[in-house]
Each structure stands twice: as C-alpha cells, then as structure tokens.
Amino acid sequence: MAGYDDRDGKIWMDGKMIDWRDANVHILSHAMHYASSVFEGERAYNGKIFKSREHSERLHFSAGELDFQIPYTVDEIEAAKAEVLTASGLKDAYVRCVAWRGAGPDMGVASSRNPVHLAIAAWEWGAYYGDAKTKGAKLDISKWKRPSPETIPVHAKAAGLYMICTTSKHAAEAKGCSDALFMDYRGYVAEATGANIFFVKDGEVHTPLADCFLNGLTRQTVIGMLKERDIVVHERHIMPAEMSGFEQCFLTGTAAEVTPVGMIGDYTFEVGALTRDIGEAYEKLVRS
C-alpha cells in the first residue's frame, strides 16, 4: 500500500490546490521541532462533512490556545474543505485540516515572526478499529496519564498532546489491543488515545467529566442523542475500580464514530442493546 506521501490526488495548501506529492514543508518548520501545530479530523458522509463548521471553529480556537492565528476565516476554511472533497471525488471520506507555524526568521522556542500555514487533505478511511463495531474493541491501560490543565492547553486539539497517545497505542498494539485508556493526573478514568469513553450501568450512562481532556464533538453529539432518548447521563469523575461494575462500554470520536468496547485490561463488557442502539442511531444521523 502506498504511503500517505506517495498518492495521486490533490491537497489544498495555503490557498491553492496542489499535487498530493508536492504538499511538502521545510525541514526547519517550527512545528516539526516545537509542536506548534493544531489539526482537525473530520468525516464526510454522502458528500457532506458532519459538524463541519464546528470543526473549523475549533481549529481556530486551538490555534489561539497555542498563540497563533490562522490566516483564513472559518468561512474560507469551509470553502476550502468543499473544494478538497470535490477534487478527491469521494463522497465518504476522512478530512484532515492542519495548521502550523512554518519556517521563518525564528528557529528557537519563540516563533512569532514565522508564517502560519494551513493544509487540507481527504482520503478514504474505513472503520477505525476494524471489526470492533461487532465484537467490541480491546483496550490496554496506558502507563501515561492525561496531564493537569495547569500544565498544557488541554482543550486544544494540538499535535503535541498526542505524543503520549502514539506511544500508548504502540504499547497497546504490541499486546494485541486496539487502543489504550488513559487515567488523568488525579487517577480518574479519562479517555482513549483518540476517542472519548462511555459506560452503561442499569440503563444509565456514565462518562468522564471533560475537565482535563478534549470534549469531543462526537462526545457532545452522543450525549445529546442519549438525553433525547430520556437516558440519564452522568458526566462525572470515575475511579478505575468502578469499571468492574459497568455492563457496557463504548468509545466515541470522529474516526472511531461509536465503537463498542469488550475489554479494558482485566475488565470485560458486553456489546449490549443500548450501545448497539446508539451506534446505529449515530450512523443514521451522520448520513441524514
């Protein structure tokens, strides 16, 4: 399979559609050395990006949290995404927007004089966890913890925050797992490497309070869907030992969509009716 750098197609970069293989940056780009980069992962269904504008708005917010300004408005980003989808010829696609500080006069930690770039690409991407939607994903428990809001901009979708996600997912895959679950700096259950987590007990849903990690757009959508069904949702701090008492578990995220979880470490869960129902309802919603 061709690498992501060696494909046919077009990528929107700094206001122009260019050949996929020509979408390159300089080795001394600030983002490569100091993680001054933010991004959004989005999915298009039947030619329409779900929650598109919310993603573009969050991209701007994340950039602001890293003290840089994207030189394109939300409306301009929306138009560029539409252009990329048309150029890709795809109706169902994963869309990646990324903004970063490039190469310029500064090559130390400070980079206020360096230009900010924006690129948008789209490609086909199937189920994030393979066959887990029917069997349930298997999660490892990461040795790393989600840090305190006093240490990093926890609500930004910033590239640097995914460093421990990569290492944790590698460790999980080496054990035959699909992903890893983080605890937070206090020891509470937090999230997976690229998805939020929900638990079910006695017909009610429990999900970690998003006070030190990204409050995902899919997470917010699913909470709304549950409440519309008069299902009680508890957004709260959850201790790891509580997982022994939960009956069902599922992950939510743009890439993950709604994916059941069958196992986390030594804890096991059934792929139950509530999880299946909300997963099917989400599939219908994004294609409506």
- Burial (0-12, 13-18, 19+ Cβ within 10 Å), 243: buried
Amino acid letter, 191: E
> Angle at Cα 96 formed by Cα 93 and Cα 101, nearest 5°?
170
Q: Are 233 and 209 in contact (CB under 8 A)?
A: no
End-to-end CA distance of the chain: 33
Choosing from 138, 157, 169, 175, the catalytic residue is 157
Helix (H) or strand (E) holding 284: helix 273-286
Q: Are 182 and 190 in contact (CB under 8 A)?
A: yes
- How far, in Å, CA of 190 to CA of 164, rounded? 13
Helix (H) or strand (E) holding 54: helix 52-65
* Maximum Cα–Cα distance across the chain: 59
Is residue 16 among the annotated active site residues? Answer: no
Q: What Å distances lie between residue 127 and 8, 49, 81, 258, 259, CA to CA?
A: 22, 17, 22, 10, 9
Query: What are the catalytic residues?
Result: 157
